[in-house]
Amino acid sequence: MVQQFLNVKDNPMPKAVFFTCIDSRMIPTRFTQTNVGIFRNAGNIIPHSQHFLDELNSNEPAALELGCVVNDIRHIIVCGHSDCKAINLLYKLQDEEFSSQENRRLSPLRSWLCTHACSSLEKFQQLEITDYNKPLIFQAETPMRKFVAYIDPDNKFAIEDKLSQINTLQQLQNIASYGFLKRRLETHQLHIHALWFDIYTGKYITSVEVLKDLL
């Protein structure tokens, strides 16, 4: 590891901006075997641009701009994982009392999830209505480019893990909502990817593997 730091200290060349969870079990440079610029937060969430305000801003958009605009990195990867404690909590937030304004004031994590992960929960509820059998439609690089995703079609994962997979895919739309990335995404100078890691088996699912068709 020391040698790796010595190699990159003067000329870092990350291949991707990599968003993942703060869970210590997630070591992306090991299971992807790549050099990436890693950004961690609870639930690997990138807030939608509609939440961007000067006085109430998070640093995920700044990481996107620094990596993809300032440093011209061409790939963004969002990586979720199984048994995500933040997503397990998000699943419980379907209960109105649990997600009440009073409880949100007592918990920064609940507030973070209620503010920035509602779209993931809404997508999950769409899947839940179909008894987890129908595909979901997600936006890709632009509003005109969408894809159909089958979530855990073999029903191998827990319900919370299904939500985690949905949340990972939903971040692609959130990323694409930022105006400073629009031209790069439209001209294919920038590409966004989803990756979901099963911490118990060491296997991962790429966004390509959950796609059934492109619209």
Annotated binding-site residue? 51: no
What burial class does residue 5 get, using C-beta atoms within 10 Å of its C-beta: 0-12 exposed, 13-18 middle, 19+ buried?
exposed
Q: For 56, phi and psi rounded to 5 degrees?
A: -135, 70
- Residue 49 dihedral angles phi and psi, to the nearest 5°: -65, -20
Q: Tell whether 84 is in a known binding site.
A: yes
118 is in an annotated binding site: no
AA identity, residue 99: S
**How do the residues of the chain divide into helix, strand and coil, expressed in percent and rounded to 5?**
40, 20, 40
Side chain identity at residue 85, one-letter code: K
Contact predicate 8/35, CB 8 Å: yes
Expressed in angstroms, the distance from the first to the final Cα of the chain is 44
Angle between helices 108-116 and 85-92 (to 10 degrees): 70
Is position 21 annotated in a ligand binding site?
yes
Residues annotated in a binding site for Zn(2+): 21, 23, 81, 84
Residues annotated in a binding site: 21, 23, 81, 84
